[in-house]
Amino acid sequence: MRVLISGDIHIGRRSSKIPENATGFRARDAWMKIVETAIKERVDLVLLSGDVADRDNRFWEAIGPLEAGTSKLAAAGIQTIAVSGNHDFDVLVRLADDLPDEQFRLLGRNGQWERYTVEKGGHAALHLDGWSFPAEHASASPLDTYQAGHSDGVPVVGLVHGDLAQPTSRYAPLDLRSLETSGADAWVLGHIHAKKLIHHSPSPWILYPGSPQALDPGETGEHGVWVFNVQDNSVQSPEFIPLSTIWYGRCGVDVDGIETRAAFESKVVSAIKQHAQDVRQAMGSNLAAISFRVEITGATALANQVSAIVAGIEKDLQFNIGDAVAMVEKVTHCVTPAINVDDLLRSSSALGVAVQMLKELEDGGNADLIAEAMADLQEADRKRSYRALDCPPPSRDNTNRLLKAQLQQIINQLAGQTS
């Protein structure tokens, strides 16, 4: 028996930060690609671990593609089995009520664990234990009521949408230890959009398949689906298949020692091209777009001109890499001027003092400065007018980071004036 796994498809959404008129970047396109992949891979089952439909457009946009996709799968002899997540707790119930069981089956309604046994060649081949979100939130761990485990030598796979190692989560907190000692041979989870496989033999493998289509720049790296086999009554390790049409990630550019604008521009271009080619090669033929967060670092005489040099790059720079397009979503830079730090550390000029302060912060020191800045940040944080911003509370770490960034800007300005 062969099984395809996906989850967190969020049908109704579309990958962000790419041109409005670009096609093939909707979550529903990814779903239809999952259907094709399942048929091509000759799987027997498709398992979906919740948040198949997005809350915002859930019913109207999801119902058509889900019916069409599961019907195409059923025609190829492939059954789709799902649990619902916090986004689609109500949609999947309605879909399951409308469609025949051999096409689409929802496990674990009303927050009650449910076992479904899949047969192959007239024999029980796999037990699936599933639990579905009964409402938008679920603060108790579903594992508190899980009692399945082995019974008859037939392998068991658990299917649940929830938050691993976040005990206070309102999205079905799951703890690793309970999963490991559950007796199941494998766990397929949903909720986290980055893929993650936890596998220490002989414990069960535990998998977040991740969203098949990367949906925003925070969803970096590879996205796709997974396939595993059940052979000789054992559940084999899952294998990843890349599927996303977009890849989001960072591209570091080191401009150390660069002295002219032309050389600076060439360096940025060649770094982006090279990185895009590597990504294109690794991700295969589904890839249509590569979106970079470019991070420029290094010591350069052009430090105080970087903002001006890279202005417009997000809007204007685009490369074709094979049949994929590479573009820049955002540029950040943390460059230092090409200055003689040793001399400045002994200098009492404004630039010298700034360089000394930065060095102290980098060495983790200057407790007074950090405490003072933190007190100011906390005061601002308490102000009613800023509350809607939902920023993390000021900590020692982010205060330190903020101070360093500010000092770097001051140094760049001052160094620019003297050079």
**Which residue number, 179 or 326, has a Cβ lying nearer to Mn ion?**
179
Check binding of 219 to Mn ion (CB under 5 A).
no
3-state secondary structure the chain: CEEEEECCCCECEECCCCCCCCCCCEHHHHHHHHHHHHHHCCCCEEEEECCCECCCCHHHHHHHHHHHHHHHHHHCCCEEEEECCCCCCCHHHHHHHHCCCCCEEECCHHHCCEEEEEEECCEEEEEEEEECCCCCCECCCHHHHCCCCCCCCCCEEEEEECEECCCCCCECEECHHHHHCCCCCEEEEECCCCCEEECCCCCCEEEECCCCCCCCCCCECCCEEEEEEEECCEECCCEEEECCCEEEEEEEEECCCCCCHHHHHHHHHHHHHHHHHHHHHHHCCCCCEEEEEEEEEEEECCHHHHHHHHCCHHHHCEEEECCEEEEEEEEEEEEEECCCHHHHHCCCCHHHHHHHHHHHHHCCCCHHHHHHHHHHHHHHHHCHHHHHHCCCCCCHHHHHHHHHHHHHHHHHHHHHHHC
Q: Which is nearer to Mn ion, 44 or 88 (CB)?
A: 88
What is the smallest separation between the CB atom of 12 and Mn ion, expressed in angstroms? 13
Alpha-helix residue ranges (DSSP H) falling in 147-285: 176-180, 261-283
Tell me the closest approach of the beta carbon of residue 396 to Mn ion, in angstroms: 32
In whole angstroms, the minimum distance from the beta carbon of 360 to Mn ion comes to 44
> Using CB under 5 A, which of the segments 43-51, 243-251, 312-320, 395-403 binds Mn ion?
43-51
Query: Between residues 193 and 267, which has the closer beta carbon with respect to Mn ion?
Result: 193
**In angstroms, what is the minimal distance from the CB of 264 to Mn ion?**
43
Closest separation in Å from C-beta 161 to Mn ion: 6
Indicate whether 217 belongs to the interface with Mn ion (CB under 5 A).
no
51 touching Mn ion, by CB under 5 A = yes
> Is 54 an interacting residue with respect to Mn ion (CB under 5 A)?
no
Residue 288: which of 239, 243, 221, 225 has the closest Cα? Answer: 243
# chain residues binding Mn ion, by CB under 5 A: 4
Q: Residues 7, 12, 85, 238: which binds Mn ion (CB under 5 A)?
A: 85
Min dist. Cβ of residue 92 to Mn ion (A): 13
Q: Which is nearer to Mn ion, 91 or 253 (CB)?
A: 91
Least distance to Mn ion, CB of residue 47, Å: 16
Stretch that binds Mn ion, among 30-38, 81-89, 137-145, 350-358 (CB under 5 A): 81-89
Burial of residue 367 (CB within 10 Å: 0-12, 13-18, 19+) is: exposed
Closer to Mn ion by CB, 120 or 196: give it: 196
CB of residue 113 to Mn ion, shortest distance in Å = 19
Residue closest to Mn ion (Cβ): 191
Q: Minimum distance between the CB of residue 8 and Mn ion, rounded to whole angstroms?
A: 6
Contact pattern for Mn ion over residues 155 through 194, marking x by CB under 5 A:
------------------------------------x---
Pick the stretch among 82-90, 99-107, 231-239, 344-352 that binds Mn ion (CB under 5 A): 82-90
State which residue, 191 or 275, has the beta carbon closest to Mn ion: 191
DSSP code, position 26 = B
Write each residue from 345 to 384 as x if it is in contact with Mn ion (CB under 5 A), else as -, in one continuous string.
Answer: ----------------------------------------
86 touches Mn ion by CB under 5 A = yes
Contact between residue 297 and residue 253 where contact means Cβ atoms under 8 Å apart: yes
- Smallest distance from Mn ion to CB 5, Å: 16
Residue nearer to Mn ion on the CB measure, 51 or 185: 51
C-alpha closest to that of 310 among 259, 250, 256, 269? 269
Contacting range for Mn ion; rule: CB under 5 A; set: 28-36, 46-54, 320-328, 372-380: 46-54
Residues in the site for Mn ion, rule: CB under 5 A? 51, 85-86, 191
